[in-house]
Copies of this chain bind each other. A is one copy, B any other.
Amino acid sequence: MATIDDVAKKAGVGRSTVSRVLNNSPKVSDKTRELVFKAIKELDYHPSSIARGLAGNSTYTIGIILDNTMDKAYANPFIYEVLRGIEKTIYENGYNLLLVGMNTRRGNKLATELILQGKMVDGLVLQSQLIMSPFFKIIQGYNLPVVSIGKLDKKKEISWVDIDNFEAGYMAASYLYSRGYNKIAFEGIDDSKVFAVDRYRGYLKFIHEIGSQPLIADKFYSDVDAIICLDNMCAFKVLQNCKQLGKKIPEEIGIMTFDDYPLAEYLEPTITNIDVDLFALGSEVGKEILRKVKERDGDVKEIQIPVSINVRESTK
């Protein structure tokens, strides 16, 4: 295993010069730089992140804390799609990802230790709900760059990235209206979740803009001609109800949901939905944490990922 000294010797330069080349310092002449690169290639040298971490102040590692204790992965696959997006950005920038789970007692302890150790990770990504949890207070003391997956309603001096759920709700309502539906209900309201509240608020805004009142569908869907479902499971139930009631989709009733989950594609009819790009969400999270790590600047960004519409069979 070649070390930096081997490279230095082979290139006929000093150890610090090699280091400078590795770190893209401008204070190296082109001639020397080439010499060093040649030696690196010949020796197939790879710098040790461990040593770099000890010596300098960067481990090129981002920690990520997942709140996946409770849910089975397929009950809540969304966070993993976000993870994929994060990975991509992180890897492309030459960083590593250290996964810190909360699914054990030790999770908490470990997460804390990572920060206490200071040098283990350069930055931390975590889900918004964890920011409310008690252990997060410990983190705050160590002014480590942090980015939240998911909107923070209270100002917390932390950057966050989320789907633009307000826009999603608005877009769903406005699309249905544009297709000729005008008694549009919203199903599955849930005050406890920020994304749910935002989707509903987006819906509300549009409904008010056209001078209407929000609706909640009754048992027989008799007073509505379209239903926006909070999520896929909700859509699934609404769909089954419609079938039992003998309602024709999309003629008598239009249905929309959010997230282009496989269900939406396999059901009969397939469901029109507002597609939320979780992979893009993850990418932005990655970009933001790297920006904070590299620039070491403190300004807090609130990033919303635009949504798009996926027209299928459940709407006119």
A interface residues, Cβ below 8 angstroms from B = 1, 44, 46-51, 53-54, 59, 61, 64, 68, 72-75, 77-78, 80-81, 83-84, 87-88, 91-92, 94, 96-101, 103-104, 106-107, 110, 113-114, 116-120, 233, 236, 240, 261-263, 266, 268, 278-279
Whole-angstrom distance between the Cβ of A124 and the nearest chain B Cβ: 14
A81: B residues at CB distance < 8 A: 72-74
A100 touches B96 (CB 8 A): yes
Interface centre among A50, A84, A97, A268 (most CB of B within 10 A): A50
- Chain B residues whose CB sits within 8 angstroms of the CB of A106 once the complex forms: 91-92, 94
Give A104 to B84 CA distance when docked, in angstroms: 10
User: How far is A92 from B147 in the complex, measured between Cα atoms in Å?
Assistant: 26
Contact present for B98 and A110 (CB under 8 Å): no
Q: A74-B261, A88-B101, A104-B88 are in contact. Are A50 and B117 (CB under 8 A)?
A: yes
Tell whether A73 pairs with B78 under 8 Å between CB atoms, given A91-B107, A92-B104, A116-B46. Answer: yes
Q: Are B68 and A73 in contact (CB under 8 A)?
A: no
* Inter-chain contacts of A236 with B (CB < 8 A): 266
Q: What chain B residues lie within 8 Å of A77 (beta carbons)?
A: 73-74, 77, 80
Known: A50-B120, A97-B98. A78 touches B74 (CB 8 A): yes
- Please, how many angstroms separate the alpha-carbon atoms of A113 and B44 in the complex? 10
Report if A84-B103 is in contact (Cβ < 8 Å); known contacts: A54-B54, A117-B46.
yes
Chain B neighbourhood of A92, CB < 8 A: 104, 106
Q: Which residues of chain B have C-beta atoms less than 8 A from A262's C-beta?
A: 74-75, 233
